[in-house]
Each structure stands twice: as structure tokens, then as C-alpha cells.
Chains A and B, each alone.
Chain A
Amino acid sequence: MTLELKGITKRFGALTANDHIDLEVNAGEIHCLLGENGAGKSTLMNVLYGLYQADEGQILLDGEVQHFSGPGDAMRAGIGMVHQHFMLIPVFTVAENVLLGHEKALGGLSGAKQKVREISDRFGFHIDPDAKIEDLPVGVQQRVEIIKALSQDAKVLVFDEPTAVLTPRETDELMAIMQQLRDEGTAIVFITHKLREVRAIADRITVIRLGKVVGEASREDSSNELASMMVGRAVELTVQKSPPVLTDNIVEIRGLTVLDAIGQKVVNDVSFDVRGGEVLCIAGVQGNGQTELTEAIIGMQPRTTGSIKLNGLELQGKSVREVLDSGVGFVPEDRTVDGLVGDFTIAENLMLDRYRGEPFVRVGSIDRAVRDEFATEKLDAFDIRAQGIDTHVGTLSGGNQQKVVLARELGRPLSLFVASQPTRGLDVGSIEFVHSQVIASRDAGIPVIVVSTELDEVVGLADRIAVMYRGGVVGVVPADTSRDTLGLMMAGEPPAAAPADPTDPSEGAAA
């Protein structure tokens, strides 16, 4: 089946998310849709899947114009989608999820189970139809999504950022599945912003930027060429940094364990040191305890045992305020939820953690002159693109929001800087800026801990890398460790040649 999108335009108010986009996908072909976050890729696919209605343009299947008023229509026409955020009901079994919406066509629950076994055997998925979704790892959940689409005889399959939640090994397995599907004649649309994957698997590449198609590319093009097409200017993909100069500042974490509400060890006996002047990146697939680890450092996890010593001062058991007062800067994972108050202005957000005492508060009220002067200075220093300091933070782009968070956290004297997923969802330009700030903090001589699930970022920023898996640290390795080794570590295998002393930072200094 051939899918054609002609002149698709979708507007949300004043924003044009898709501007006359043309795209053609043939049977037995993997067509990559490459673009940055916010380029309009997901919007386009939601239009294709009937979740959004296009304002202009046509969808054609085998030359026939289609009108999708809902996902049901798209499915009946043979379009399947593997969503970025899985459309699975966690408390249902695999078979129930496949059955939902197609109860008659599949012949009830027993028919659905049969179908799951059939497709699962065909692709070697090993999926138990009676397993509950919430008990399955994300990689398997994604296969359930694929089964869901295939159970409806999808001829066109859309994968929306499918590798964002996968380990490198799971990513490889997914690529193999996609190739198998292609070889069976399925037309595949593969949406991603990861250049490595595009170059590994794409038959054709269409690049979109700011809602418009900027052109086709070839998988033979270099990563730098693809990136500059995606961003619209020459970009520096590697992080510029000098060798680390270690100082005497040190944070020592020993036997740190965090329990969740039902007693599971989400962080399990974690120990490592970070010296001043180096960046320790914590790598790992999302959900292996990184969030809880950083929150434990800042004092936000109630069921924590073990020790966190910053320059000899015990932080564990202290309140968040005491931890902040001892000079810890923290960039939370989700800036819109934990980092900023969207309805507050930039100036207010910049003094969010300084509402007690001088210089911002005098005799119980905020000194607006001091606040505004501080904000104006930071606006300039951190290149926050906004109309002014009174702009509400919620209206800023992700990159500018993150700059506000950074400006606040780096705006006071620090003795430890912890950044959790600092570049998630940012455009390439903002990522460059965030990285330069992280390196600047490192060069100022304080210990820096960065949590990231993006391997490229980890390798680029780190002086040493700690890999977390199921709450524990699999190992701490130098920054020049091969991606294959890191990938295996992210799946829980300890590194083959263990470093002499995982807490000895001199190992990474050579890198």
C-alpha cells in the first residue's frame, strides 16, 4: 500500500504546526521523518491517524483520497500506529488490550489470545497473552503496541519516537523487527530525532523543520549534514571541553538506599564519589532509579538510608532547605512540574528559593527593585529570549524555561550541582547552551552530577560514567568506554574489565 500526504496543514490558533507537508511512503519501505522536538512530526502523524483533523490537504492511500474522522477510520483503512506514549491500559492483560475496540472482529477474548500468539510466534516476541501490561518492561509493552497494530492488518505502520524509552539493545531488536516488517511488505513511517538510528535503517529520509519539509536526505549523508538540515544552521554536535582539573571539593555517597511506598528498593545501595572539577554522568534507561537518586540527594525522598557527604558535611536526613543552603544546585527532571511555576513571571521564578531574608526580602516583603535588577541581569547573562522579566514562564519555549531554571540554580554560590535530564525536549541550540553551562560549573571546580538517558549526551559531557540498572550502580567507567559496553551495562551486565577502583576519579581524568 502506498501512503501519500499532500499539502497537510494543521494550525493550533496562531501556531502553524504543519505547513503544507508532502510525504510519500511505499510498501516495503522505511521512510524516516527526521526533525527536532516541536518540528511538527507528531502533529503530522496524529493527523494521519485521525486524532487531529487537518485544516488543509489530503491523505491518499493507493491514490484514493481518505477522510479520517477518528482513529477508527484510519485503522480500518490499514494504518497502525505505535505511539510514543504507549496507548495501553496498564491494568489490562495483553489480550484485553488487543481486543479493546475490536471485540467482534477478533471473536472475543479467546480470539484475541489466539491472535496474540499467532503474531508473537511470527516475530519471535514470546509474549504471554495473559500477562498484565503494568508487569511488563517497556520494551515488551512496545511489542504489544506492534501486535495491536498488526492484529488490525495494518499495511502502513507509524512508529512515533519508538526508541526514546529503550535500552540500546532493545533499540537494536526493534530495528530488526522493523526490517522484518518492511521485508514482509509493510510501509513504515519512522519518526525520530536520533541521527544514528536514521542512518542505520532508513530507505528514505524526509527532514522537517518548524512545520515545513526542508527536503529529502540520504542515509549516506554525515550526521553533521543531517543535523544542520534539521536545525537549519551548522551545529556543533560534540561538547567542547578541556581535560578536568580536579579540586578538593568532593561529594561522597555511601550505601544510599531509597524505598518507594511499597518497600521496593528503587535506589539500592549506591556508592560513588564525585570530585570537584569533574562531571559524573549517570546513564541508564529511564526508570532505573536515577530520578529517586537525585531526589534523595536534594532531600526529597522520605525513605532514604545511607550517607551523602558534601565536603564532609552530612546531607542525608536534612530538609530540602538545609541541603539547598549548603550549596546544592538542582535542575529537576521535569522543569514544568518541579522546576518552575508557570503562572509566575520570570522575575518571580528566579527568586523562588530565596523568599527568606536579604537581599530579596526585607521586613517580610519582597524588595522588587532588587528582584527586578537580579532578573534583568540573569535574563541577559543566560540569553533568555523573552519580552521582559514580567513574562509568564509558562509561555516560554522549553529551552528558555530551562535557562530560567539554570539561571536560578547557578545564580548562587554552589558547592555541588545536580542536573536531572537537563536537555530533555530541548532544541539543538538550547542543548548547546545547557551543555556549556554544565561544563562551566565543572570548570569552576565543583562536583557536577548529570543524569541523562541519551547516550550521546552522556558520552559528550561525562568525565566518568555511572550506569544505573534496577536501582543499583552497575559500574563507574571512564568516559571513553565503548557504546557497546555502556549498552550492555544499561541492561544490567557489569563491565568486563572493571576499573581498579570505581570511586577513583583519576581514571576519568585521563579521558
Chain B
Amino acid sequence: MTTQQPAEVQPAADERIELERAVVKHWKAPISYAVLTAVSFILMVLLARDGLARLRLASGGDFFQIPDALLPVRATGVVVVVLLALLTAFSFWAAATVRKVGAWLPVVFGIVFVVGFLVWAGAGAMIPIPGLLFATVGLSVPLIFGAMGGVISERAGVVNIAIEAQLLGGAFTGAVVASATGSTIVGVFAAMVASVLVSMVLAVFAIRYFVEQIIVGVVLNVLIAGLTNFFYSSVLTDNPALNSPDRLPRLNIPLLENIPLIGPALFNQTAIVYAMYLIVPLIAWGLFKTTWGLRLRAIGEHPLAADTVGINVPRLRFWNVSLAGAVAGLGGAYFTLDSNGAFTREMTAGLGYIALAAVIFGQWHPIKATAAALLFGFASALQQTLGAIGSPVPSEFMLMLPYVITILAVAGFIGQSRPPAASGKPYRKQ
């Protein structure tokens, strides 16, 4: 029976509904760990490579220089596999005894696995860890901006599959306007405006005309890809001056950039990246601590309830979806005004979809979605770094890595994440 007191002790209405729970054992996580451990065993023990792997941990301007880590590949492999096996065993034990395991287990497991993989892949070569981290941040920036746009839009009740279009539209417009005006700042703002316009199309069709949001989003993605391709080949190739924007300057933050390992990755960046450091916590704070956030979440959870307290649901949804576009537009500007320096055909390459995956993996929470985007960014950086040092894994397989991790993350490791209840549902009034 439940632990509740008999009903006469207190009024029935004051009791909490607590149903008895059956013992349900969840084997998904331990089995996943076991499979990864088995893969590691095959890779790092059976197919072990000889020699030493050198992990470079220091970079030029650090306060102090951490010496390179020289690791014997075989021995490291054995140690890593043993550690993974222990973690897996713990996971099985926890599942069998129905214990809750915190988030530390997947994190520790992931770090151990990655270290083992790096050492194995880097046998006889040098892997620059600061460079890997720098690339991680760089590759994550558009994902994070895209994911923030996704979080805002979906929390307001509109599925934003058009992140891809917002990024691409922003990238193109940013490049052209910055080239034409000669001002990167104007370019950044133009990118935001373009992205807002894309969002507004989505908002009008989804909110005003109740068109299926996924379809509008997909159509927008195709439309913007087509438009930018057309202008790229018909205008930009003939007028290269329109596609050669100045890049945003790198702003080094003194002292902070000298922190070993993470300093250069985090604090030797452009204004757009520093803006991201502010925007993510700002959105998190705004969503959960301000009137704006309260209303935003209300219209995404139960729009009729919001309506009955006098909130104009369609209008609020419209402006928040537009705001989501503005945030995603910064991610678009990053492509052409920071990382690449020119627009190329479909240069966002599906990152908008990965950003959407980060939103889901991050459970519609700005901080968690950022962590998810960083994970995907790390996977891409790993692929680039290992490609550069000539890893034994075929490069085609390495290219798959970010996407494989996306699928595993979204499908496997997340628990039951709950989307905003009214996300994707049009709100109709009589």
C-alpha cells in the first residue's frame, strides 16, 4: 500500500496522488556501455597499435607549460578498457538493484572512452589538445546559436525546423552586406535581420494560417538553399567583391587567454563568440526568472490557459519566433564573418538539423542544449584533428562521427525528455 495516512486524517483533496510503483529495471544504459566497452576492447586491445602517442597539452602563452603526455598505446588501451569494464559493471549493478545513477557515469565513461580512442588513433603521432578544444568551440558556435533559436521558438510552441534556413540566410546576407558596406558590424545586423525575416515567414504560416509547422520549416530550408544557391552562382561568382567581407577581429582577453588548456580556446575569439557567452546565460535566466520567460513558457505549454488570463497568444508567439530568428542569425553571421570569410554553396551543411537535435538532447533547456551542441562540436573537431594527423580510421567513417554521436545521444542516452506540451500545435480561437 502507499505510505499515505488513512483518509480521515486530512481532507481527501489535500493528499498527493502517489501510486505504488513496480520495480522496473532499465537495461538500456548498461547494455549500451557494454557494447561500447566491447568495441573498445576490440579496437584498443585486439587491434592495438604499437608505439607512443604524444598528447600536447600546452600552447604558447600559457602561465605555465604543461609537459606533453607521452602514453604507451598498448598499456593505455588495456587500462582504458579495464576502466570502461568497471564502469559498465557498476552500471549493471545499479540497474539490477534499481539505483539511480547520476549524470557523472555517462560523462566519466565518455571521457575515458575519448582519451582511449585519442591515444589509440594518435599512435606514433602528436595530438594538439588545445587545438582540438579551439576547434570544438569554433564548430559549436553556430550550433549553439541555432539551438538557442530552437529553444526559444519551441518553448513558445512553434517547432523550428527552419534553423537551417535561418543560419544559411544569415550567412549569405551577412557576407553580402558586410562586403558591400565594408562594415562587419552592419553585416552581423543584416544577418540577424535576414534570419528574422525567415522566422517571420515561418511564424505567419504557422500562427496565422495554421499550416503544419514541420512542412513550412522544411519548405523554408529548401527555399533558402535554392535562393542562396541561385544568387551565389548568378551574382556572387561574377562579382567576387560582394563575397569578400572583412572578418571580425579576434579579441584576446588578457590573462584569461593564458589559462592553460582552455584559455586559448575560450578567450581568443571574436565578438560574436563573446556575445554567445552572454546570450546563453541571459536566455536561461530570462526563461525561468522573468515575466517574458513565464509567458513564453505558458504559451508553449497551455496556450488556452494563457489566453484566459489575457495574454495575446498569437502575437506573443509571433514575436518570440522572430526573436529566435535574430539569435539564430548570429550563428549565420558566424559562418561568413568569422569562421570562413566568404559565402559558399550550402555552407551550413545540415548544421541546423544538428542544432535541432541539440535542442531535443538538451531537453529544451538553454544550458543543457549548449552542452549538447558542444558535444556535437567536439565530435566534428575530433574528426578534423584525426584527419589531419592521418588516423588509421577511414576518413569517410570519421566524417560520420558527429552524426553517429547525434543519433546515439538523441536515441539512446537521454531519458524521457518532455517537450513543451503545445509545441507544434497551432492555437485556434473561435
Q: Provide the bound-state CA to CA distance between A289 and B55, in Å.
A: 59
CB–CB B2/A470 < 8 A: yes
CB–CB B15/A137 < 8 A: yes
CB–CB A90/B421 < 8 A: yes
Contact of B22 among A72, A257, A492, A493 (CB under 8 A): A257
Residues of A within 8 A of B24 (CB): 259, 262-263
Say yes or no for A91: interface residue by CB 8 A criterion.
Answer: yes
Residues of A within 8 A of B311 (CB): 72, 100-101
CB–CB B294/A100 < 8 A: yes
CB–CB B309/A75 < 8 A: yes
Among B298, B311, B429: residue with most chain A CB under 10 A: B298
CB–CB A140/B298 < 8 A: no
Residues of B within 8 A of A253 (CB): none
* Residue in chain B with minimal CB distance to A166: B13
Q: Provide the bound-state CA to CA distance between A491 and B6, in Å.
A: 10
CB–CB B310/A71 < 8 A: yes
Say yes or no for A87: interface residue by CB 8 A criterion.
Answer: yes
CB–CB A470/B19 < 8 A: yes
Residues of A within 8 A of B297 (CB): 89, 91-92
Residues of A within 8 A of B294 (CB): 92, 96, 99-100, 103
Contact of B16 among A126, A135, A492 (CB under 8 A): A135
Residues of B within 8 A of A51 (CB): 307-308, 429-430
B:388-410 near A, CB below 8 Å: none
CB–CB B295/A100 < 8 A: yes
B:11-26 near A, CB below 8 Å: 11-24
Say yes or no for B416: interface residue by CB 8 A criterion.
Answer: yes
Say yes or no for B306: interface residue by CB 8 A criterion.
Answer: yes
Known: A87-B304, A137-B16. A265 touches B21 (CB 8 A): yes
Per-residue interface assignment for chain B, residues 243 to 278, with 1 indicating a CB less than 8 Å from any chain A CB and 0 otherwise: 000000000000000000000000000000000000
Q: Provide the bound-state CA to CA distance between A75 and B309, in Å.
A: 8
CB–CB B22/A265 < 8 A: yes
Q: Provide the bound-state CA to CA distance between A259 and B24, in Å.
A: 9
Per-residue interface assignment for chain B, residues 304 to 330, with 1 indicating a CB less than 8 Å from any chain A CB and 0 otherwise: 111111111000000000000000000
Among B19, B297, B301: residue with most chain A CB under 10 A: B19
CB–CB A88/B305 < 8 A: yes
* Residue in chain A with minimal CB distance to B295: A100
* Residue in chain B with minimal CB distance to A76: B310
A:62-109 near B, CB below 8 Å: 70-73, 75, 81, 83, 86-92, 96-97, 99-104
CB–CB A170/B308 < 8 A: no
Say yes or no for B411: interface residue by CB 8 A criterion.
Answer: no
CB–CB B307/A71 < 8 A: yes
A93 CB → nearest B CB, Å? 11
Say yes or no for A471: interface residue by CB 8 A criterion.
Answer: yes
Residues of A within 8 A of B14 (CB): 126, 137, 140
CB–CB A92/B298 < 8 A: yes
* Residue in chain A with minimal CB distance to B311: A101
Residues of B within 8 A of A263 (CB): 21-24
* Residue in chain B with minimal CB distance to A257: B22
A487 CB → nearest B CB, Å? 10
A208 CB → nearest B CB, Å? 19
Residues of B within 8 A of A137 (CB): 12-17
Residues of A within 8 A of B304 (CB): 87
Q: Provide the bound-state CA to CA distance between A72 and B312, in Å.
A: 9
Say yes or no for A169: interface residue by CB 8 A criterion.
Answer: yes
* Residue in chain A with minimal CB distance to B312: A70
Say yes or no for A365: interface residue by CB 8 A criterion.
Answer: no
How many residues on B have C-beta within 8 angstroms of the other chain's C-beta atoms? 39
Residues of A within 8 A of B22 (CB): 257, 259, 263-265
Say yes or no for A167: interface residue by CB 8 A criterion.
Answer: yes
Residues of B within 8 A of A104 (CB): 291
Among A91, A100, A104, A262: residue with most chain B CB under 10 A: A100
Contact of A70 among B2, B16, B310 (CB under 8 A): B310
Residues of B within 8 A of A262 (CB): 24, 416
* Residue in chain B with minimal CB distance to A264: B19
Residues of A within 8 A of B13 (CB): 137, 139-140, 143, 169-170, 173
B149 CB → nearest A CB, Å? 22
Say yes or no for A268: interface residue by CB 8 A criterion.
Answer: yes
CB–CB A136/B16 < 8 A: yes
Q: Provide the bound-state CA to CA distance between A167 and B14, in Å.
A: 13
Say yes or no for A52: interface residue by CB 8 A criterion.
Answer: yes
Q: Provide the bound-state CA to CA distance between A88 and B306, in Å.
A: 9
CB–CB B19/A265 < 8 A: yes
CB–CB B6/A101 < 8 A: no
CB–CB A493/B301 < 8 A: no
* Residue in chain A with minimal CB distance to B17: A137
Say yes or no for B107: interface residue by CB 8 A criterion.
Answer: no
Known: A72-B309, A89-B301, A264-B20. A170 touches B12 (CB 8 A): yes
Q: Provide the bound-state CA to CA distance between A471 and B15, in Å.
A: 16
* Residue in chain B with minimal CB distance to A135: B16
CB–CB A493/B6 < 8 A: yes
Q: Provide the bound-state CA to CA distance between A137 and B295, in Å.
A: 24
A463 CB → nearest B CB, Å? 27
Q: Provide the bound-state CA to CA distance between A97 and B297, in Å.
A: 11
Say yes or no for B238: interface residue by CB 8 A criterion.
Answer: no
A:467-511 near B, CB below 8 Å: 470-471, 488, 491-493
Per-residue interface assignment for chain A, residues 43 to 70, with 1 indicating a CB less than 8 Å from any chain B CB and 0 otherwise: 0001001011000000000000000001
Say yes or no for A266: interface residue by CB 8 A criterion.
Answer: yes
Q: Provide the bound-state CA to CA distance between A91 and B297, in Å.
A: 9
Q: Provide the bound-state CA to CA distance between A162 and B291, in Å.
A: 30
Q: Provide the bound-state CA to CA distance between A491 and B13, in Å.
A: 9
Known: A87-B302, A100-B295, A265-B22. A169 touches B12 (CB 8 A): yes
Residues of A within 8 A of B19 (CB): 264-266, 268, 470-471
Q: Provide the bound-state CA to CA distance between A206 and B421, in Å.
A: 38
Q: Provide the bound-state CA to CA distance between A92 and B21, in Å.
A: 25
* Residue in chain B with minimal CB distance to A10: B430
Known: A137-B13, A169-B12, A491-B12. A88 touches B308 (CB 8 A): no
* Residue in chain A with minimal CB distance to B16: A135
B306 CB → nearest A CB, Å? 7
A:260-286 near B, CB below 8 Å: 261-266, 268
CB–CB B309/A100 < 8 A: yes
A266 CB → nearest B CB, Å? 6
Rank and list the top 6 A-B pairs by shortest CB-CB distance, nearest first.
Answer: A72-B310, A101-B309, A139-B13, A263-B24, A87-B305, A103-B291
Instruction: Please give 12 more A-B residue pairs, beta carbons under 8 A apart, in addition to A139-B13, A148-B309, A492-B4.
Output: A51-B307, A71-B307, A71-B309, A86-B305, A89-B302, A89-B305, A92-B297, A101-B295, A143-B13, A264-B21, A265-B20, A470-B2
* Residues of B in contact with A (beta carbons under 8 Å apart): 2, 4, 6-8, 11-24, 291, 294-295, 297-298, 301-302, 304-312, 416, 421, 429-430
Identify 7 residue pairs between A and B in the complex whose beta-carbon atoms are under 8 Å apart, listed by A's number: A49-B308, A99-B294, A100-B306, A169-B11, A265-B20, A265-B21, A471-B20
